[in-house]
């Protein structure tokens, strides 16, 4: 029997971030993540109260067939951290049904071959591998404080290999003037590769319109509160 992937959810939506913003996409969210950021959109990856009790397990062929029915422009492999799983069979199965695979990863684990696009969002708990930084088609920096951009740029040696480095306010900080001002000032001062970013799908509630998607958890970025 083929290996089965632990699947948190699948749903049809559109890409709400980055270069491919607004394009029709099918999302496959795999369960599991060793990084466990307390503000992560996928609370099930880090908080025990949100771990699904009915976790689905599916083969690469099953997931590819489901994605094909939706007829998206591409498929997004996300998590959790999808690269803790062997994605090679899934990427191949998607290719067999005529679909390209986009990846969203923290970059701390080796990236499979054959992906059409790689979005890397580095995390301090498990920093990205040098090879992952070089492979990334775009980078999404989560700006938690006004100092986040400078800290990450210093951490990678002062230069980003990617042509697109998005600066996203951490969602619970999206109305904080200091965070938004830091992003604006940095883009105005530096220009490319830095770009101001936003999670556009959230005000649309685009993902949750598909009944297969799990209800969003009320996250606030406070581990003491649990979510």
Environment class of 171 (CB within 10 Å of its CB; exposed 0-12, middle 13-18, buried 19+): middle
Please state, in angstroms and rounded to a whole number, the distance separating the CA atoms of residues 175 and 184: 13
Please state, in angstroms and rounded to a whole number, the distance separating the CA atoms of residues 82 and 80: 6
| CATH 3.20.20.70 correct for 5-138+200-209 | yes
* Phi/psi at 162 (5° precision): -75, 150
**Does 193 sit behind a cis peptide bond, omega within 30 degrees of 0 on the bond before it?**
yes
Give pLDDT tens digits for 145-159.
999 999 999 999 999
179: left (phi over 0), alpha (psi -120 to 50) or beta: alpha
Give pLDDT tens digits for 117-132.
999 999 998 999 999 9
The pLDDT assigned to 226 comes to: 46
Residues 6+ away with beta carbon under 8 Å from 6: 30, 31, 32, 55, 56, 57, 85
Q: Taking all residues of the chain, what is their mean pLDDT, rounded to a whole number? A: 91
Environment class of 127 (CB within 10 Å of its CB; exposed 0-12, middle 13-18, buried 19+): middle
CB atoms closer than 10 angstroms to residue 82: 26
Please state, in angstroms and rounded to a whole number, the distance separating the CA atoms of residues 95 and 50: 32
Lowest-confidence range among 32-46, 54-68, 186-200?
32-46
Q: Would you kindly state where each structural domain of the chain is located, as residue ranges?
A: 5-138+200-209
For the chain, the C-alpha Rg in angstroms (whole number) is 17
Give pLDDT tens digits for 67-121.
999 999 999 999 989 999 999 999 999 999 999 999 999 999 999 999 999 999 9
Give pLDDT tens digits for 194-217.
999 999 999 999 999 999 998 776
């Amino acid at each position: 029997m083929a290996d089965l992937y632990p699947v948190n959810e699948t749903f049809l939506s559109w890409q709400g971030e980055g270069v491919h913003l607004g394009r029709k996409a099918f999302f496959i969210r795999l369960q599991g993540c060793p990084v466990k950021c307390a503000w992560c959109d996928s609370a099930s990856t880090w908080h025990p109260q949100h771990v699904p009790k009915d976790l689905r397990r599916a083969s690469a062929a099953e997931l590819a067939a489901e994605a094909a029915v939706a007829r998206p422009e591409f498929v997004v492999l996300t998590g959790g951290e999808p690269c803790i799983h062997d994605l090679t069979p899934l990427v191949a199965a998607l290719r067999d049904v005529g679909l390209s695979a986009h990846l969203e990863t923290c970059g701390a684990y080796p990236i499979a071959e054959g992906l059409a696009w790689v979005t890397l969002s580095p995390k301090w708990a498990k920093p990205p591998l040098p090879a992952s930084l070089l492979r990334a088609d775009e980078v999404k920096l989560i700006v938690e404080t006004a100092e986040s951009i400078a800290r990450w740029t210093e951490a990678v040696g002062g230069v980003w290999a990617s042509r697109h480095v998005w600066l996203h306010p951490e969602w619970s900080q999206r109305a904080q003037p200091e965070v938004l001002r830091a992003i604006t000032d940095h883009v105005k001062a530096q220009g490319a590769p830095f770009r101001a970013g936003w999670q556009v799908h959230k005000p649309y509630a685009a993902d949750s319109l598909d009944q297969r998607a799990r209800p969003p958890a009320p996250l606030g970025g406070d581990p003491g509160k649990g979510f």
